[in-house]
Amino acid sequence: MRSGSSIIHRRSTGGWILLWVVLFAFSLWTIFPLFWAVVTSFKFTGDAYDPTFIPWVQFKPTLQGWRFVLITAGERTFRSLKNSIVIAFFSSAAVLFLGSMAGYALARFVFRKWKNKDIAVWILSNRMFPPVAVLIPYFLIMRTLRLLDNPLSIIIAHTILNLPLGVWLMIDFFRDLPRDLDDAALIDGCSFMGAFFRIALPLVAPGLVAVFVLSFIFSWNEFIFVLVLGFNKAITIPITIAGALTTKGLEFWKVATMSLIGVIPVVLLATFISRFLIRGLTMGAIKE
């Protein structure tokens, strides 16, 4: 963040008040739904429909919701948690593996026949089509491979989903590295592989972490592919959240608690890589 006062940055007292009022209002609007979910998750079934906010004063807090989600329905919750972690982990690892190699190739070598830029744009264009456009063929492919309701099918789908992002960010990170470093390594007798694994990769470590965490978050959040490819064994957290909608209608306490289980891990991860989130979401167009 740039410091010091300047012409575009000069502000009167009135300006400061306006700034804080707007900031406060926008923060309240942003955080309220999650605050409400937290409050509701500590309410009894009957209290969950009341507009009360303060525990002990306005309503009697309870762990009923959390006990139900983690113990009574715990088997399903933990199965989907485990699947979510396994799927997000392996698909992000695949994105990292394929993405860093392709990113390195496109950042460091010249492809004459198909220009580097065209290859990169083609890779990116794979992210444009809506997932729904490939749902039917994916269903058929995974059925043929006998991978329906198997986490592997979802790992493959999520890898394809996040790979364009991974390649683009890695191109960006490798370009930021001074070229001399791997050139020097090559002159010193390092092989291309050596230059990649021992010089370039360690230097872009923060970028690798960012790509991994970003695709972990997107995989964790993804809903449609799991809805189509998983039925019972391979369900993830988003599907379990959607399952909180029962025939009895919307049980607020249960929905709130279940949603929070999906929300908390990714929000923590996002905080951890907050510097890279906008960069990732804009495909590297913005560097903070």
Which 62-91 positions form the footprint of other proteins (CB under 8 A)? none
Nearest distance in Å: CB 32, other proteins:
8
Q: Name the residue nearer to other proteins (CB basis): 72 or 274.
A: 274
Q: Name the residue nearer to other proteins (CB basis): 211 or 255.
A: 255
Q: Which of 57, 193, 232, 247 binds other proteins (CB under 8 A)?
A: 193
Nearest CA among 119, 88, 76 for reference residue 243:
76
Nearest distance in Å: CB 41, other proteins:
10
Q: Which of 44, 49, 78, 197 binds other proteins (CB under 8 A)?
A: 49
If one asks whether residue 56 binds other proteins (CB under 8 A), the answer comes out as: no
For other proteins (CB under 8 A), the number of binding residues is 98
Site for other proteins in 197-256 (CB under 8 A): 217, 220-221, 223-224, 228, 237-238, 241-242, 244-245, 250, 252, 255-256
Site for other proteins in 135-174 (CB under 8 A): 135-141, 143, 156-157, 159-160, 163, 167
Nearest distance in Å: CB 78, other proteins:
17
Nearest distance in Å: CB 59, other proteins:
13
If one asks whether residue 27 binds other proteins (CB under 8 A), the answer comes out as: yes
In whole angstroms, what is the distance from residue 225 CA to residue 156 CA?
A: 10
If one asks whether residue 119 binds other proteins (CB under 8 A), the answer comes out as: yes
Nearest distance in Å: CB 60, other proteins:
18
Q: What's the gap between Cα 147 and its chain centre?
A: 24
Nearest distance in Å: CB 70, other proteins:
17
